[in-house]
Amino acid sequence: MTQQPPWPSPRGNCRLIALMTVAALTLLPEAGALPFLFPRFRPQINWTQPPLERWVIEEQPRSIEPHLDLVSHPNRTHSAATSGDGSDAEFLQRLVNIRHNQTSTSRMLWYDVGSGDGLVYPPFVDKALKLLNLKQVAFEIENSVMSKVTCTACRAGSGMLQHQIQSGKTDAELIRMISDYCTNLNIQSARVCQGVAQLFGSELIYVIKRVNLSPDELCSFIIGDGCGDVYNPYHEWEVIFPPVPKPPRLADLPIPMEAAPFFKVLHISDTHYDPHYAEGSNADCNEPLCCRLSSGRPATPNAAAGKWGDYRKCDTPKRTVDHMLAHIAETHKDIDYILWTGDLPPHDVWNQTKEENLAIIKETVKQMVEKFPGIPIFPALGNHESAPVNSFPPPYVNQVDISISWLYDELDVQWRRWLPQSVTHTVRRGAFYSVLVRPGFRIISLNMNYCNNKNWWLLLNSTDPATELQWFIYELQSAEFSNEKVHVIGHIPPGHSDCLKVWSRNFYKIISRYESTITAQFYGHTHYDEFEMFYDPHDLNHPNSIAYIGPSVSPYYDLNPGYRVYYVDGDHDSTTRLVIDHESWIMNLKEANLYGYPIWYKLYTARAAYNMKALRPSDWNNLINELTNNQELFELYYKYYWKNSPARPTCDAECKKRLICDCKSGRSHDRKHFCSDVESKIDEESSKSWKSWFYRGLTNSEEQRTASGEEQTTTELWSPIDVVVVNIGG
Alpha-carbon dihedral 489, 501, 546, 334, rounded to 10 degrees:
20
> Is residue 347 a contact partner of residue 195, using CB atoms and an 8 Å limit?
no
The two beta strands, 337-340 and 377-379, are parallel
Question: Known binder of ligand: residue 491?
Answer: yes
Q: Could you tell me which of 123, 145, 124 has the C-alpha nearest to residue 136? A: 145
Give the residues across from 569 on adjacent strands: 262
**Using CA atoms, how far apart are residues 696 and 687, in angstroms rounded to an integer?**
14
Question: Known binder of ligand: residue 525?
Answer: yes
> Is residue 404 a contact partner of residue 393, using CB atoms and an 8 Å limit?
yes
Question: Known binder of ligand: residue 78?
Answer: no
Cis peptide preceding 50, ω within 30 of 0: no
**Using CA atoms, how far apart are residues 591 and 561, in angstroms rounded to an integer?**
12
Treating both helix axes as pointing N-terminal to C-terminal, what angle do 631-641 and 617-629 enclose, rounded to 10 degrees?
Answer: 110
Question: Known binder of ligand: residue 75?
Answer: no
Question: Known binder of ligand: residue 383?
Answer: yes
**Using CA atoms, how far apart are residues 387 and 199, in angstroms rounded to an integer?**
8
The two beta strands, 377-379 and 433-438, are unpaired
**Using CA atoms, how far apart are residues 386 and 203, in angstroms rounded to an integer?**
13
> Is residue 532 a contact partner of residue 498, using CB atoms and an 8 Å limit?
no
Q: How many CA atoms lie within 13 A of 89 on its CB side?
A: 4
**Using CA atoms, how far apart are residues 613 and 370, in angstroms rounded to an integer?**
38
Q: Could you tell me which of 544, 683, 681, 674 has the C-alpha nearest to residue 620? A: 544
Q: Could you tell me which of 130, 116, 122 has the C-alpha nearest to residue 183? A: 122
Question: Known binder of ligand: residue 582?
Answer: no
- Strand ranges (E), 506-612: 518-523, 530-536, 539-549, 562-569, 579-587, 600-605
Classified as helix, coil or strand, 39 is: coil
Question: Known binder of ligand: residue 412?
Answer: no
DSSP conformational letter for 721? H
**Using CA atoms, how far apart are residues 671 and 405, in angstroms rounded to an integer?**
36
**Using CA atoms, how far apart are residues 435 and 375, in angstroms rounded to an integer?**
15
> From the DSSP assignment, how many helices (H) and strands (E) are in the chain?
23, 12
Classified as helix, coil or strand, 447 is: coil
Indicate if the alpha-carbon torsion angle 700, 703, 704, 705 is positive or negative: positive
Backbone dihedral region of 309: left (phi > 0), alpha (psi from -120 to 50 degrees) or beta? Answer: left
**Using CA atoms, how far apart are residues 274 and 364, in angstroms rounded to an integer?**
11
As to burial, measured by CB atoms within 10 angstroms (0-12 exposed, 13-18 middle, 19+ buried), residue 445 is buried
DSSP 620-688: HHHHHHHHHH-HHHHHHHHHHHTTT-TTPPP--HHHHHHHHHHHH-SSTT-HHHHSHHHHHHHHHHHHH
Main-chain dihedrals φ then ψ at residue 295, nearest 5 degrees: -80, -10
Percent helix / strand / coil, the chain, rounded to 5:
45, 10, 45
Which residue ranges make up the annotated binding site for Zn(2+)? 270, 272, 343, 383, 491, 525, 527
Which residue ranges make up the annotated binding site? 270, 272, 343, 383, 491, 525, 527
